[in-house]
Structure 1
Amino acid sequence: MLPQLLIKMSQIIKIQYQIIVYLLGVLFGKSLTDWDDEEPMNQSYQKLQVDELPVIETLPRLDYHQLLVEYEQQHGKPLKPIKRHANTKTTVPDALTCPQCQAPSAYVYANNGGKGQYQCKVCRCRFNPRSRFAKQVIFRCPHCLKALEKIKERNDYYIHKCKNDDCSFYQANLRRMTPQEKEQFQHAPYAFKVRYLYREFLFDFKPLAPSSPIKTKVDVSRLSVSSHTLGLILTYHVNYGLSARKTASIMKDVHGLSISHQTVINYANSVALIVQPFVDRFPYELSGSFCGDETYIRVKGRWHYLFFMFDAVKKVVLSYRISPNRDTFSAIRAIDDVLKKLPSIPEDLSFVVDGNPIYLLAQHFFAQHGISFDVRQVIGLTNDDPVSEEYRPLKQIIERFNRTFKGNYRPTHGFGAEEGSVSFVTLFVAYFNFLRPHSALEKRVPVVIPALESLPHMPARWAKLIVMAQEMLTQQAAS
């Protein structure tokens, strides 16, 4: 009896310990155990197929004032507003207007007994308030020109489907099926993608839009620390990946300077605000071999996704977006960061990424805005297809970069605020692009700046990089 009781008590204590650790992590915003080494479960992606763009038919916008004038000229009398029955049970909202001619509710019928459909007396347009967009633009299948039907609503887009059974696209996919697939299709049609689909993106984002000037409120000259000391702190904290507490300790034990770990964090946040515009807007010389990947960091006790875009030849980090979601919009913004750094969009532009379908959706989004590029997806760990076999070396390069970043990130055990995560990643990218020698480049830094290369040690280079970033901000403010 006693051993069973001890086992039961031990299980209860373990559960209580896990609950306490979790609550402390939520309270302090970072994990207090070694569980940070674990990563979210990686699941295999379903193969996404993206169809070509639809035929977009824009309906003409009518003016009900002009239509009323034409009606009176044609019939010799004005078109009267609707006279509703006094005891009618169906009502038309006063704010409702016709989506095609903008006629007010006085000219709108409740067309199907209050079930949601209305009809305009002026232009005869039938509509439903929940699908007013359908009266502004019509998406048609490029194969049969039938109007597409909205079937699903996602967070970032609507899915429209061609339901025409005589569509050539649908019939061709049916003919390609093997007898076994046809039999399976009869029982589970949802397992096959045979009809034309189009995704209408909802977010308001314009590719290659010029960035607004960045005005930082931080002035490093007002920090109560010398440029050499600031360079030392950044060297320990960023270059060698020491935590803020260890950086503060080494400044005390080795250099005799007593500072707190919070001071280290404050200095890092301040410098990151100044350096970020310099990193993002530097005129890089790029090779055109671009690859992308996501890795994980903890922010406020939760996993966030860090999207890297990388020049595999020049070893330059081109995008470093942090997002709480692994979604299409994050992939779009990461790719847009790369496109902004190109003098022009080459015809053979391509990105090597993993099998996550968000990159294909991002490609589809840019295609809708007239920007074309290829997406080469390296899927899994084995070369099961020709694309994976050809482009896996590029994918392995950015995975190696991810391991380098994780080596610097791991001592932090996550971040208690989004500001801290952005600052850390920004400083790491600045270090990687401008200060860190790379073995594949014969021990040269990816971006060679003579003013930095001639300096004798790393703290001086950090100080000079900060000065150059400040000068760029000053020139930007003056222009």
Structure 2
Amino acid sequence: MLQIIKTQYQIIVYLMGVIVGKSLNRKDLDEPVQKPYRKLQIDDLPIIDVPETLDYRKLLADYEAQHGRPLRPIQRRAKAKHRVPDSLTCPRCQAPSSYLYANNGGKGQYQCKVCQCRFNHRNRFTKQAVFRCPHCKKTLEKIKERKEYNIYKCKNNACPFYQANLRRMTKKERQQFQQDPQAFKVRYLFREFLFDFLPLASSSLIKPKVDLSRLAASPHVLGLVLTYYVNFGMSSRETAAAMKDIHGVSISHQTVLNYANSVALWIKPFVDRFPYELSGSFCGDETYIRVKGRWHYLFFMFDAVKKIVLSYRVSPNRDTLSAIKAIDDVLRKLASLPDDLSFVVDGNPIYLLAQHFFAQHGISFDVRQVIGLTNEDPVSEEFRPLKQIIERFNRTFKGNYRPTHGFGAEEGSVSFVTLFVAYFNFLRPHSALEGRVPVVIPELADLPHMPARWTKLIAMAQAFLQQEAA
């Protein structure tokens, strides 16, 4: 009887699994499948060849100046068997079809009389760039198209990178490679990103619609609110209670948040566009904040010597585009790009992918990755002090952020981070700078207390916006 019951139970479990669409067997639930995954590996930058482009008008003018006569268009035979389409132009110099030969008997190859370029519809001059393997110099082949990037692979079997990876395999790995080659990464890969984002492009200055002069509170009260809320890291409710109990000013916690959001809108352009004097020692890291009950990622970029926050991007995703925008914030603040520009970051591969993206746009820099908690490689040993500096900065931010218990909207998180960065850069004395603030502004340093400095900083931000708009 017991055996019959067990058999019936197994049948019921099987039928329920068919109906529900997943196994209800307790053994399956207790023992999940441990399937190892291959971590994302980022290879070195490829060799990027940018095709030369010419102007046929200039070439025609140069020809006439050199030979004393113009270069005449092609005189075609009336009964020519192979014709050049009228819409076809030279991809190298943009010469019209009247200067193009049908070069190989109608098989698709053409030659430009102006620049001598031979081409067809798949010619390399129709591409924005040609990617070559840095190990064997062979042209990479596009193998996949994704929503945000294309994947290129080196298919040269004699490539040193490919051969070295094969030699590195154990006997067991070689057998597995024969059965499942997709489980191993042995060839050189490169990702060409297609983000709708142009590095170093000037962004439009948005003037906030909030008029701080119409706030019911006085400037001193506004400065007190910001001092408690930002400097001392008090929550909005604690700030409202302090204003009531200490200063006798009755405001709600929502009013505190409204003040913070309004001030952040005015101060953000000033913080982002201030002409900082930078050292060139840049480090970056991500930390977490709570927005709408979910963890968001906060990307910080930091000048480790001057103690200046250069980027503070809040993103719901820990992805390559966020890293690109964070690095771009730093590049915008540089008067010129130094040859030895580098960023010290953790082992997250998104920064290497960001490096590849900027290389596609002609912007080069090095990425120094400090991996783990111990110095297992020379790079980590050399640059760990810089990484520890931004880790310490993250702890400082968390000390101010923690009492907020997260934010109910994206705007609230951005406003709080903006105010914290303004406080850290312009108002907060730093022990590593002998008690000075990272960015010394004489108009702020001469004021007697922090509320007055906040109100002065707001006034300077408003004047900055008016000057930019003029």
**TM-score w.r.t. length of structure 2:** 0.75
Aligned counterpart for 1:341 among listed residues 333, 337, 340 = 333
CA deviation string 1:421-457 (max 9, x = no partner): 0000000000000001111111111111111111111
Mapped contact 1:45–1:356 kept (Cα < 8 A): no
Partner of 2:203: 211
CA deviation string 1:126-155 (max 9, x = no partner): 99xxxxx99756845446666544334444
1:393 aligns to 2:400 (yes or no): no
1:276 aligns to 2:305 (yes or no): no
Instruction: Give the 3-state SS of the residue equivalent to 2:467 in structure 1.
Output: helix
1:157 aligns to 2:124 (yes or no): no
Structure 1 segments unaligned to the other structure (5+ residues): 1-42, 61-69, 82-96, 102-119, 128-132
The amino acid of 2:47's aligned partner reads L
1:440-459, aligned counterparts within 5 Å?
A: 440-459=432-451
1:53 aligns to 2:47 (yes or no): yes
Partner of 2:64: none
How many Å separate the matches in 2 of 1:474 and 1:218?
14
Partner of 1:238: 230
1:404 aligns to 2:396 (yes or no): yes
CA deviation string 1:60-108 (max 9, x = no partner): 9xxxxxxxxx9995645898x9xxxxxxxxxxxxxxx99999xxxxxxx
Partner of 1:350: 342
1:326-475, aligned counterparts within 5 Å?
A: 326-475=318-467
Cα pair distance change 1:420/1:191, threshold 3 Å? same
CA deviation string 1:191-235 (max 9, x = no partner): 543322221111121111122223221221111111100000000
Give the superposition deviation at 1:50.
Answer: 3.1
CA deviation string 1:147-194 (max 9, x = no partner): 544334444312111223244543354356576765664455445433
Mapped contact 1:59–1:138 kept (Cα < 8 A): no
How many Å separate the matches in 2 of 1:272 and 1:449?
19
Instruction: Give the 3-state SS of the residue equivalent to 1:254 in structure 2.
Output: helix
Cα pair distance change 1:336/1:75, threshold 3 Å? same
Aligned counterpart for 1:312 among listed residues 282, 304, 307 = 304
**TM-score w.r.t. length of structure 1:** 0.73
Mapped contact 1:59–1:136 kept (Cα < 8 A): no
Partner of 2:95: none
How many Å separate the matches in 2 of 1:194 and 1:99?
41
How many Å separate the matches in 1 of 2:463 and 2:131?
53
CA RMSD of aligned residues (A): 3.5
Aligned counterpart for 2:218 among listed residues 226, 230, 237 = 226
Mapped contact 1:248–1:259 kept (Cα < 8 A): yes
Mapped contact 1:152–1:159 kept (Cα < 8 A): yes
Cα pair distance change 1:404/1:138, threshold 3 Å? closer
Mapped contact 1:290–1:351 kept (Cα < 8 A): yes
**Percent of pairs with identical residues:** 72
How many Å separate the matches in 1 of 2:412 and 2:185?
44
Give the superposition deviation at 1:48.
Answer: 2.7
**Structure of greater relative contact order (alpha carbons < 8 Å, 6+ residues apart):** 1
How many Å separate the matches in 2 of 1:137 and 1:217?
42
How many Å separate the matches in 1 of 2:108 and 2:40?
48
After the TM superposition, which of the residue ranges 146-155 and 379-388 deviates more from structure 2?
146-155
Give the superposition deviation at 1:324.
Answer: 0.6
How many Å separate the matches in 2 of 1:267 and 1:410?
20
Partner of 1:21: none
Structure 2 segments unaligned to the other structure (5+ residues): 1-36, 55-73, 92-106, 111-118
The amino acid of 2:149's aligned partner reads Y
Aligned counterpart for 1:298 among listed residues 283, 290, 302 = 290
How many Å separate the matches in 1 of 2:296 and 2:197?
22
Cα pair distance change 1:425/1:186, threshold 3 Å? same
Instruction: Give the 3-state SS of the residue equivalent to 1:382 in structure 2.
Output: coil
Mapped contact 1:45–1:357 kept (Cα < 8 A): no
Mapped contact 2:285–2:301 kept (Cα < 8 A): yes
Partner of 1:171: 163
How many Å separate the matches in 2 of 1:185 and 1:400?
44
How many Å separate the matches in 2 of 1:368 and 1:126?
23
How many Å separate the matches in 2 of 1:442 and 1:153?
53
Partner of 1:201: 193
How many Å separate the matches in 1 of 2:334 and 2:131?
34
1:476 aligns to 2:441 (yes or no): no
Question: Alignment length, in residue pairs?
Answer: 395
The amino acid of 1:364's aligned partner reads H
How many Å separate the matches in 1 of 2:160 and 2:315?
41
After the TM superposition, which of the residue ranges 232-241 and 139-148 deviates more from structure 2?
139-148
Instruction: Give the 3-state SS of the residue equivalent to 1:270 in structure 2.
Output: helix
Partner of 1:67: none
How many Å separate the matches in 2 of 1:271 and 1:242?
17
Mapped contact 1:233–1:264 kept (Cα < 8 A): yes
